[in-house]
Amino acid sequence: MSVGPTTLSSGSRALPEAPAGLTRSSPALRGLAVLAAAAVLAGGISALTAGPDVPAAPGPPRAPAAPIAEIASVPAGEAAAFGILRRPRAAADEIRTLIPGAGPAGANPALARHVTVAPGSLSPASIAVVPAAGAICLRVLQSSATGSFASWRCQSVALARSGGLIVTLLRPSALPQAGANQYLIGLVPDGVARVTVTTATGQTRSVAVHANVYSTQITAPRMVTLTVPGHHVIHRGVRD
């Protein structure tokens, strides 16, 4: 099985579009193309007439990023948005960490709340919602014939409040399984009772939310649709 990225994710960078108000056939763009060609030609002439390259002096070594300190209590903003973090912790919420210390983004396993997930052949051993510093995480514990392993998926609080914290689990495979059966898990804020999952073939499934978390086993999920109280309908793409 595979799990999405284990830290705050970032989208891929797109190539720049044409400036607003211009079309591909506009005179302004043709003027830009002429200027770009002139710049390339000038650069080539400069390269022919310049002397040999001189290596730039190496800069000072970069210090490694300092780890984010583990939080000591549930941040007020996270507790306000996700009711699961407001309920008292119980014995079932305890996490036996496989690696001691804080999780990503200062997530504190001692503040985790476990949730019950829907059954399925790909369902994980357990799922926990874990608060972090400026972020919120899902900790996924999976079991295999060789033992147990835990994976983390975290997103900023703002993104998580709009349904952007989603995890997919797949069977182990050497090749991508875009159209395969998957186990889908997501976190949503208070007030969202159900989400709609749309597959690659256009089929839809309504999935109930329990304690801010929804889960289902489904083939080739591609989009999750939800309505957050006070907001418009939100569509979130699902990545393998």
The pLDDT value given to residue 166: 97
**Pairing state of beta strands 194-199 and 233-237?**
unpaired
Per-residue CA distances from 97 to 20, 114, 219 (Å): 51, 14, 31
* pLDDT bracket for residue 10 (50, 70, 90): very low
pLDDT cut 70: percent of the chain above it? 70
Q: Are strands 181-187 and 213-219 parallel, antiparallel or unpaired?
A: antiparallel
Which two three-digit tokens encode residue 66?
A: 């300092």
Average pLDDT over residues 210-224: 96
> Looking at the predicted structure, is the pLDDT value of residue 126 above 50?
yes
Burial classification of residue 162, based on how many CB atoms lie within 10 Å of its CB (0-12 exposed, 13-18 middle, 19 or more buried) = middle
What is the average pLDDT across 196-202? Answer: 95
AA letter at 28:
A
Domain coordinates in residue numbering, the chain? 76-237
- Class of residue 79 by CB neighbours under 10 A (exposed 0-12, middle 13-18, buried 19+): middle
